[in-house]
Structure 1
Amino acid sequence: MSRSRKAKKLPQEPIELVIEDLSHDGRGIAKWNEKVVFVQNALPGETVTAKLSKMNRKYNEAMMQEVLVASDDRVDPKCEYYEMCNGCTMMHLAEEKQIDFKFNALKSNFYKMAKAEPKEWIEPLTDDHWAYRRRARLSVKWVKAREAVLVGFREKNGRFVAKMDFCEVLEKPLADLIQPLAELFAQMDIKAFIPQIECSLGDDELSIIIRHMRPLTDPDFELLKAFGEEKGLMFFLQSKGPDTVKPLVPYGDRQLAFSLPHYGLNYHFLPNDFIQVNRKMNEKMIKQALAAMDLEANDVVLDLFCGLGNFTLPMAQTAAQVVGVEGDERLVERARHNAELNGLSVDFHCADLTKDHSNSAWFNSPYNKVLIDPPRSGAWEILPLIAATKAKTLVYVSCHPASLARDTDRLVNELGFTLEKAGVMDMFPHTSHVESMAIFSRP
């Protein structure tokens, strides 16, 4: 006869903890009853009181209640919603120490997973720490007891939507819409069936995708139409998967777009296309990558995981030939459009880069330089193919230090590359997200 296991009851009284270190996601690490405790908003060297929020077999989690002994690196968060909102996780840490944390995360991953260190560390790339996000996915929740709709990031406990009227890290046109959107959704008949929105800000246009679990009523449609006209934004509806995204009304020639002024380039994108969230850091990142590529007029370049051509088009302005490969057919279509828009000749292909492409037509060019910008999972499967090219330079743009370090181990210790340089880029200030770049060479 099976018996259900009762969940262990959490202690109600706060416990006192001494914080020893920071975890990879920016939480303080302490010990309690011979078990590790991860503590939200706590810093190394601090003594705090905290309330346990979750107890697991190997570790516990806790929410900090009070700082008894503060770290010299602690600062007062600028955002009034920071204590509950999980959109940012490191705003209590001084800005210059946040980038140190990210650098140490990259360095630690290189050492632990690749037993490697670059010949030279690149100075961290940074820019504005506030109002930097041009894209965001926000949760929406109808709270019947309050007769109100909440629009925002999730709370730090993950269960609820944070009550917020503004966001300090969203670009201002997006941040200013949080409260008006909450009031708009509260008037809709299907307010209980809108779980999230996805916001995108171009140079001149703003779009919002509304995920809805029930069809809009006629009054709902009129409310959205009037609001969009008043605010000058484009609404899109998504009833199921990404393929169901459609405009609320025809928008004619209106187009989401962003530019790279340094290169004189313009890009068109759709509301659910991937673009880099931080526009200023994106341009700095491209400049750094192209400097590392050291492109010449006779270079033949392979750009893997190329998206809509973020790196591809700037490289095509110098190199003899650039081939971009991407797994999302929709992004490949946008990349081709953007190349034509800018009068550039680029060869784009759609391919699953977890597969072997040694016999693919696009692989048969004499590449001497490669750039890759893979997802969080990294580029493990495609590394042997890169090694099979004639490329002597490889620039690796990473959004996850652990997968970069794992791939570095293979590149350096199996495939004959040397790790020349590496550094971090503060693409997401006030979060533990680590964006980085590594430059490899071989004889």
Structure 2
Amino acid sequence: MAQFYSAKRRNTTRDIITVTVDDLDPFGQGVARHQGKTLFIPGLLPQETAEVVITDDKRQFAHARVKRRLSQSPERVAPRCPHFGVCGGCQQQHVSEALQQRSKSQALARMMKQPVDEIISGPTWGYRRRARVGLNFAPRTQTLQMGFRKAGSNDLVDVHHCPVLAPRLEALLPGLRGCLSELQAVRRLGHVELVLAENGPLLVLRHLAPLSQADREKLERFSHSEQLSLFLAPESDKIAQVTGDAPWYESDGLRLSFSPRDFIQVNDAVNQQMVARAIEWLAVDATDRVLDLFCGMGNFTLPLAARAAEVVGVEGVATLVEKARENAALNGLSNVTFWHENLEEDVTRQPWAKAGFNKVLLDPARAGAPGVMQHILRLAPEKVVYVSCNPATLARDSEALRAGGYQITRLAMLDMFPHTGHLESMALIEKAPGG
């Protein structure tokens, strides 16, 4: 059979080459150089030499896989999870915690073009207080698979242990597997969401067909025996509470109620420090008017309101705005106002934008906040704290403020997701001298 090759196709070499890694990127890939090109190699650490095969050859860089490792870094550690390397949840369990934090801080410093002042971290195991666990009934084995997606795949890894889950949630896994396996609807289950609230764990079961009375009773018995709150989700956008109390968590000593589907920070220990550091950096006192953009249900807004003269929170998700108002009332805070507005639109036309603020906090999603940067400059606050889950958009947005006479005076790396490639950060941005 004749084979035809496109002249534009870049053939990937299968030759074995020997390289030594000299850096680690934020995603846990070793970085090496070969013939003037940067190679990214999963599984290798700085100081390690290995025989590798290039798998994807680009003009400026290439990806490679390890054929044989020839030396071992002193920063290599034994992964704690038996599913590591197959499950897509963690990428860096083979890396010492010190190297993980150092490589992420260095990557942040490079992107922001200035040094990182501090690393805000907490426990590196048992830190996840929420997780979505996939469910799949395997006809061939007639068993229920329960776990997380494989790296780069929709296939499930059948997980029995997860050391990054909060211990109270990890302890639920064996009993939950047994309970769900006994349901008549076992073939028609979607996923479960596990959340550890301050007042105990909760479980949301997404089911793809109506549950029989017998199935509901089994689930209720399980919820009582495990002392958790049970929610059922017959549709993707609807949930109904069956047992237990409404969940809540604390932010800076204030009580915030939430719905199981509401966004809350996964890492409670880092969240508490992050909120405290934002308050400290803003130096909030009883004379301040503070603006909190992308405020959610009030994670930062309410602690700010406990100290400031007035706080305004703006959020694009209507249900979170309602929850924020409830939480303000719950905590007896009358000096805070919440607005439901799309911050990607022209904010100058929005009601909150006409008021003066001397301090601003923003905590946007991965896309950042390009639509509000110019308006922040018009407000001319003394201080801005930007909390970011994407350093690329933090770098872009802060550049707009720098061009307007501001400078970053504090930069912190938030170790919100140890053992993963997620890099979160926060920056204090203040008027430059003469700005």
For normalisation by structure 2, the TM-score amounts to 0.89
Q: What's the offset of the Cα at 1:61?
A: 5.3
Contact 1:151 1:181 in 2 (8 A): no
Distance 2:58 2:184 in 1: 45
Relative to structure 1, is the Cα distance of residues 124 and 224 closer, same or farther in structure 2, using a 3 angstrom cutoff? same
Distance 1:152 1:207 in 2: 17
Contact 2:23 2:32 in 1 (8 A): yes
Q: What's the offset of the Cα at 1:328?
A: 0.7
Q: What's the offset of the Cα at 1:279?
A: 0.8
Paired residue for 2:105, among 103, 106, 123? 103
Letter in 1 for 2:187: A
Distance 2:81 2:366 in 1: 28
More strand by share: 2
2:238 aligned with 1:244 = yes
Letter in 2 for 1:73: E
Paired residue for 2:163, among 162, 168, 176? 168
2:175 aligned with 1:180 = yes
Q: What's the offset of the Cα at 1:51?
A: 7.6
Letter in 1 for 2:347: H
Relative to structure 1, is the Cα distance of residues 240 and 12 closer, same or farther in structure 2, using a 3 angstrom cutoff? farther
Matches within 5 A, 1:41-80: 41-48=43-50, 55=56, 64=66, 67-80=69-82
Relative to structure 1, is the Cα distance of residues 382 and 12 closer, same or farther in structure 2, using a 3 angstrom cutoff? same
Relative to structure 1, is the Cα distance of residues 153 and 30 closer, same or farther in structure 2, using a 3 angstrom cutoff? farther
Letter in 2 for 1:43: L
Relative to structure 1, is the Cα distance of residues 307 and 215 closer, same or farther in structure 2, using a 3 angstrom cutoff? same
Letter in 1 for 2:419: H
CA RMSD of aligned residues (A): 2.9
Name the counterpart of 1:425.
414
Aligned-partner SS, 1:353: coil
Distance 1:421 1:98 in 2: 21
Q: What's the offset of the Cα at 1:229?
A: 1.9
Relative to structure 1, is the Cα distance of residues 82 and 11 closer, same or farther in structure 2, using a 3 angstrom cutoff? farther
For normalisation by structure 1, the TM-score amounts to 0.87
Q: Cα deviation per residue 1:78-99 (whole Å; 9 max; x = unaligned)? A: 2222232222111111111111
Letter in 2 for 1:384: Q
Q: What's the offset of the Cα at 1:45?
A: 2.7
Name the counterpart of 1:40.
42
Q: Cα deviation per residue 1:331-369 (whole Å; 9 max; x = unaligned)? A: 111111111111112101111111112132212222000
Q: What's the offset of the Cα at 1:236?
A: 2.0
Q: What's the offset of the Cα at 1:150?
A: 2.4
Instruction: Give 5+ residue unaligned stretches, structure 1.
Output: 112-116
How many residues are aligned here? Answer: 426
Distance 1:33 1:160 in 2: 37
Relative to structure 1, is the Cα distance of residues 30 and 182 closer, same or farther in structure 2, using a 3 angstrom cutoff? farther
Q: What's the offset of the Cα at 1:378?
A: 0.6
User: Looking at both structures, which has the greater relative contact order when contacts are Cα pairs under 8 Å and sequence separation is at least 6?
Assistant: 1
Identity of aligned residues (%): 35
Paired residue for 1:282, among 271, 287, 298? 271
Q: What's the offset of the Cα at 1:374?
A: 0.5
Aligned-partner SS, 2:120: coil
Q: What's the offset of the Cα at 1:312?
A: 0.7
Name the counterpart of 2:249.
258
Distance 1:187 1:10 in 2: 49
Contact 1:19 1:28 in 2 (8 A): yes
Paired residue for 1:128, among 123, 130, 151? 123
Q: 209-218 vs 324-333, which deviates more?
A: 209-218
Q: 87-96 vs 359-368, which deviates more?
A: 359-368
Matches within 5 A, 1:397-412: 397-412=387-402
Letter in 2 for 1:257: W
